[in-house]
A and B are shown apart, each in its own frame.
Chain A
Amino acid sequence: MVERRPLLTFTQHAVLIVGAAIFVFPIYLAFVASTHTGTEVNRGLPLLPGDQMQENYAIVLGEGLSTAGAPPIGLMLMNSTIMALAITLGKLAISLLSSFAIVYFKFPFRVLAFWTIFITLMLPVEVRILPTYEVVAQLGMLNSYAGLSIPLIASATATFLFRQFFMTVPDELTEAARIDGAGPMKFFRDILVPLSRTNIAALFVILFIYGWNQYLWPLLVTTDESYYTVVMGIQRLANSGDQLPQWNLIMATAILALLPPVIVIIVMQRLFVRGLVEVEK
């Protein structure tokens, strides 16, 4: 910084540390709640972790909350993982292919294809809930992994990002590859995709979080509990009718539901930040 002002520096650190603490606070309390018995939590939340952690997590993972009519969280976590990975990999695959076509080929309807993809930006699930539901129902995709993931894998953002990146790949590389006898798909596989791997990794982080955190969509297309995802399923536990909510178990579920994307974001922070800033460019 320009000048040295110890008091100012101290204030900065204080503000940042307090800020960070406030952000961790809800998670910490959720964790505390998840380590006590239900009775203890309902009596008034202790501020330190208890000794029921193993029991509580074993219950939610293995048995689920029978009273809430929800399956074990283990199954929901698996469903969430399948959905998040299917959405992420699907988006990456079709976006890589379509941006390759749009950038590296001149063909009739190219601009039309671009605008068709572009328009998906303006049509989030939230604005076309019922008709999309009807389409999925007619295709018999309700209560299936396909129904959970395929309708969400069209992505204008990923396509734009790849298009932007492809435009920066030097033309000479393409020419060198042509002289080296590589056709379009070989060039795509041997050169373009390997060159894009940082972008792919960055998008992977963003899309995985996006996929994992889907709420409205699984709510629409699943009625069969065995296809519930954990982010969507948690409301079933929280709103368990007349029963008193079993807060210790709900919080254990919440911790399990937020852990995977949080771990991804922390471990791959650099890629995430880069990807986010690129996507919004």
Chain B
Amino acid sequence: MSDISLRDVRKVYSGAEAPTIPGLSLEIVSGELCVLVGPSGCGKSTLLRMVAGLEEVSDGEIAIAGRRVNDLEPAERDISMVFQNYALYPHMTVFNNMAYGLKNRGMPKDEIRRRVDEAAVMLGLDGFLARRPRELSGGQRQRVAMGRAIVREPAAFLFDEPLSNLDAKLRVKTRVEIRDLQQRLRTTSIYVTHDQQEAMTLADKLVVMNAGQIEQIGTPIEVYERPASLFVAGFIGSPPMNLLPPSAVPSLAPASAPEHALIGIRPESMVPADDGPIALDVRVVERLGATSTIHGRLPGLESDVIASVPSTVPADPGRTMRFSSPGDGVHLFDGRTGRRLG
């Protein structure tokens, strides 16, 4: 059990004009699963690799379990990492892949055997210990990578997009397994992903990053319900939040809203109502089964407005549909700063 703390961490690559991470602080509580989410190039992987010790910290301090680790080798930081492509040693058996780090620490043989066996049972890998990685399926390889992390019994797990090499179905299944495992072991974890759905479902603490900076920290529900910025509003949630100028929907804009404000309404908050203030000219209806996604136009607006409605709601292209939105479904942002208003 240990916490991880980042204080004013900066990363500047030599020769780069702007810093990749201009200065960032983050506290991760013991036992928590913290997900760093953001578009590619936002610095989330760099941050994780700095915690791992694979990238140098240009400035600031990283501490794991209260110990400053800036100058420690990755192996000395008491962390383990699951890589995107798993990084299994192709010439070693599953057993040796998991045992290699323990052997390098000079752990007694029977203790290594005990830990690897235990992890193998936990991950359903018993029976595969003598195989080599290329004889395993993608999902099994992923679990070997997890096993290699577990046997170390480290202070923290670091996950670098560990599911992105799996197909969609397996990704969902493995996501659940990771969550279950982390809850059982209660090991402090940092998890990097660009997939907002993965981020929402896994996180105790969600950190949305953009351009090397933190946009918002909170529980997934907090972030979803009260996005702190236009960026977060657009990034979290699928389909993304509709952002409209107050002039397009005057009746929904609070009287206090400044001229440059933007009104945000999630597609899920668009409720069909015969007398609703939003009148959409329906262009396309995507039927997903339980729900339908309606793409339509507001007069005078260039881009589509999206509404998610139960599939029982009749909707056809070419018709005009009216929507309203409950008060707590309307978000207000400052169009110039991008921050949330109120």
Contact = CB atoms under 8 A, between A and B. Distances in A.
Contacts of A170: 85, 87
A191 interface: yes
B contacts with A: majority SS: loop
Contacts of A127: none
Given A175-B54, A176-B89, A195-B90, A181 B83 contact: no
Interface string A167-189: 00010110111111110001000
A186 B100 CA distance: 11
A131 interface: no
B101 A179 contact: yes
Contacts of B104: 180-182, 186
Interface in B120-172: 148
A175 B81 contact: yes
Interface string B43-78: 000000000111000000000000000000111000
Interface string B99-120: 0110011000000000000000
B189 interface: no
B91 A179 contact: no
Nearest to A178: B74
Interface in A220-267: none
B101 A181 contact: yes
Nearest to A171: B87
Contact of B100 (A172, A175, A190, A197): A190
Interface centre among B84, B85, B100 (most CB of A within 10 A): B100
Contact of A179 (B81, B84, B86): B81
Nearest to B83: A172
B24 to A, nearest CB: 22
A190 B75 CA distance: 16
B85 A179 contact: no
A179 B88 CA distance: 12
Nearest to B89: A191
A124 interface: no
Contacts of B101: 179-181
A215 B89 CA distance: 42
B151 to A, nearest CB: 11
Interface residues of B, number: 23
B146 to A, nearest CB: 13
Given A170-B87, A172-B87, A179 B52 contact: yes
A205 B72 CA distance: 43
Given A181-B101, A190-B100, A195 B91 contact: yes
Given A181-B101, A181-B104, A182-B104, A176 B87 contact: yes
B79 interface: yes
Nearest to B84: A172
Contacts of A182: 75, 100, 104
A173 B83 CA distance: 9
Contacts of A191: 89, 91
A180 B73 CA distance: 10
Interface centre among B79, B80, B84, B101 (most CB of A within 10 A): B101
Contacts of B88: 176
Nearest to B52: A179
A18 B192 CA distance: 65
Contact of B75 (A172, A181, A194, A197): A181
Contacts of A177: 89, 100
A182 B80 CA distance: 13
Contacts of B74: 175, 178-179
A227 to B, nearest CB: 40
Contacts of A181: 75, 101, 104-105
B54 A173 contact: no
Contacts of A190: 100
A180 to B, nearest CB: 3
A26 to B, nearest CB: 43
Contacts of B81: 175-176, 179
4 closest pairs, A vs B, by CB?
A: A180-B101, A181-B75, A172-B87, A181-B104
22 contacts: A170-B87, A172-B84, A172-B86, A172-B87, A175-B74, A176-B83, A176-B87, A177-B89, A178-B73, A178-B75, A179-B54, A179-B81, A179-B101, A180-B100, A180-B104, A180-B148, A181-B75, A186-B104, A191-B89, A191-B91, A195-B90, A197-B91
Interface of A: 170, 172-173, 175-182, 186, 190-191, 194-195, 197
